[in-house]
């Protein structure tokens, strides 16, 4: 294979440009189905064209250089659709074919780059933001920007806890060892449906305690119990992390066993109960009508916390929900007026439930299988894990769908 020296953006460079709102253009050469299922999104809309690689390429001879064939095909297939000035990022599934596309474009004078590792690498990229940092309490928000997943590493003194660990557990162990922290507790707020939890594996690897509410150790479809052991979370349980206290609030609605930890009385890790713009969906257990009132009561209870308490959710839908530091957080006081779901609470249970039921997004078919993995009922290899986690999370209520 020809080694190309085409300039690249790594996933972290892509993240930086997305976060800064840089102007660039994307040529995505994956097939249409994959493109429609999941694309790169930033704070602002990014001009993107999807043209599957095989539509772009017809080799004149079997041994024709691919970049040369791309350069030959582009004027005809893409005409004036590509910008003559400004950066063009070529994207494919793994970053191999898009390298040839970027190289072909460069030969035509375009300022093209390749996304290193393609969508696979982008999907597995993590970013870290400091919410608070002191010896008494450090709160780190660890995001997986392509999927909109957020997890947390909390530390007090030398002791650390991970909340809602993603499956790439090395992300947490690396940060902890850099800081000299010992992860003694791993806490899953609920049985995740949109991504594979790393909670059980991380706790096993470290000999840490793994915490979960017993209701969420049962698969909601066939009621099969989890195959791993865990420590039971219950409402108003107090956990100690170094010098700080965590108060466990059982807030059912998104799932029956949803537990949100209130850290040091100041940070509420709201998981999929409450997001920055919207609220969690109560239908993933297949019982939206009976779970919506649970969500209603849980959100009302959550609003009894002080206005200054900071909400740290488990997901975001759009990058522009982040603040200037790239952190997804907001005070309860601010969300009271800005969050659409919380505003609906004031109108009573009937209106709230009707609002919830009319704004439910599709139930992705992979979610049942993901929960099967997360309850330890089945095991999957890396290829299958990536396939199950393809695309952005769908844990929130739809936005603006009236
Ligand atoms: Fe969830």
What spacing in Å lies between the alpha carbon of 315 and ligand 1's midpoint? 9
What spacing in Å lies between the alpha carbon of 272 and ligand 1's midpoint? 5
Residue 194: CB partners within 8 Å, gap ≥ 6? Answer: 147, 149, 315, 364, 367, 370, 393, 394, 395
Contact predicate 255/226, CB 8 Å = no
What spacing in Å lies between the alpha carbon of 355 and ligand 1's midpoint? 19
Show the domains of the chain with their CATH numbers: 8-122 (3.40.250.10), 127-388 (3.60.15.10)
Q: Above 60 in pLDDT, residue 127?
A: yes
What spacing in Å lies between the alpha carbon of 91 and ligand 1's midpoint? 29
Contact predicate 339/297, CB 8 Å = no
What spacing in Å lies between the alpha carbon of 174 and ligand 1's midpoint? 25
Which is the catalytic residue, given 92, 149, 327, 395?
92
Give dist(CA 341, CA 352) in Å, integer.
Answer: 8
**Residues whose Cβ atom is located within 5 A of ion ligand 1:** 272, 395
pLDDT of residue 4: 66
Q: What is the mean pLDDT of residues 273-288?
A: 94
Nearest to 198 by CA among 173, 166, 229, 175: 166
Q: State how far the alpha carbon of 286 is from the alpha carbons of 219, 222, 301, 315, 350, in Å.
A: 12, 12, 24, 21, 19
pLDDT tens digits for 67-86?
988 998 898 888 889 999 99
Contact predicate 261/248, CB 8 Å = yes
Q: Considering only residues 5 and 133, tell me which one the structure prediction assigns the higher pLDDT.
A: 133
pLDDT tens digits for 147-205?
999 999 999 999 999 999 999 999 999 999 999 999 999 999 999 999 999 999 999 99
pTM for the full model?
A: 0.93
92 is catalytic: yes
Q: Above 90 in pLDDT, residue 44?
A: no
What spacing in Å lies between the alpha carbon of 197 and ligand 1's midpoint? 11
pLDDT of residue 3: 61
Nearest to 322 by CA among 129, 66, 95: 129
């Amino acid at each position: 294979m020809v080694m190309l020296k085409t300039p690249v953006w790594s996933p972290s460079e892509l993240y930086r440009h997305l976060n800064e709102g840089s102007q660039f253009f994307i040529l995505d050469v994956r097939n249409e189905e994959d493109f429609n299922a999941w694309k790169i999104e930033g704070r602002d809309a990014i001009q993107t064209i999807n043209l599957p690689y095989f539509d772009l390429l017809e080799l004149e001879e079997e041994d024709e250089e691919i970049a040369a064939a791309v350069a030959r095909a582009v004027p005809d297939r893409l005409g004036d659709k590509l910008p003559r000035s400004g950066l063009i990022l070529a994207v494919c599934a793994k970053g191999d074919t898009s390298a040839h596309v970027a190289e072909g474009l460069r030969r035509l004078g375009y300022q093209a780059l390749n996304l290193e590792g393609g969508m696979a690498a982008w999907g597995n990229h993590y970013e870290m933001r400091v919410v608070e940092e002191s010896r008494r309490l450090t709160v780190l928000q660890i995001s997986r920007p392509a999927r909109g997943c957020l997890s947390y590493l909390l530390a007090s003194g030398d002791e650390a806890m991970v909340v809602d660990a993603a499956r790439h557990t090395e992300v947490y162990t690396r940060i902890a060892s850099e800081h000299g922290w010992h992860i003694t507790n791993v806490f899953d707020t609920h049985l995740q449906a949109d991504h594979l939890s790393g909670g059980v594996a991380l706790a096993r690897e470290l000999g840490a305690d793994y915490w979960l509410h017993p209701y969420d150790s049962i698969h909601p479809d066939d009621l099969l119990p989890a195959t791993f052991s865990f420590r039971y979370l219950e409402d108003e349980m107090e956990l100690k992390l170094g010098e700080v206290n965590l108060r466990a609030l059982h807030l059912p609605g998104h799932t029956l066993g949803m537990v949100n930890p209130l850290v040091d009385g100041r940070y509420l890790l709201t998981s999929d109960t409450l997001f920055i713009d919207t609220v969690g969906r109560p239908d993933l257990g297949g019982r939206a009508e009976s779970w919506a009132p649970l969500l209603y009561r849980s959100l009302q209870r959550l609003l009894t916390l002080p206005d200054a308490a900071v909400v740290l959710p488990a997901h975001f839908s759009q990058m522009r929900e982040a603040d200037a530091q790239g952190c997804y957080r907001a005070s309860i006081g601010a969300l009271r007026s800005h969050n659409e779901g919380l505003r609906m609470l004031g109108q009573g249970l009937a209106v709230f439930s009707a609002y919830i039921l009319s704004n439910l997004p599709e139930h992705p078919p992979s979610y049942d299988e993901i929960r099967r993995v997360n309850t330890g009922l089945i095991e999957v290899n890396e290829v299958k894990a990536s396939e199950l986690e393809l695309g952005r999370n769908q844990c929130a209520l739809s936005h603006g769908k009236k």
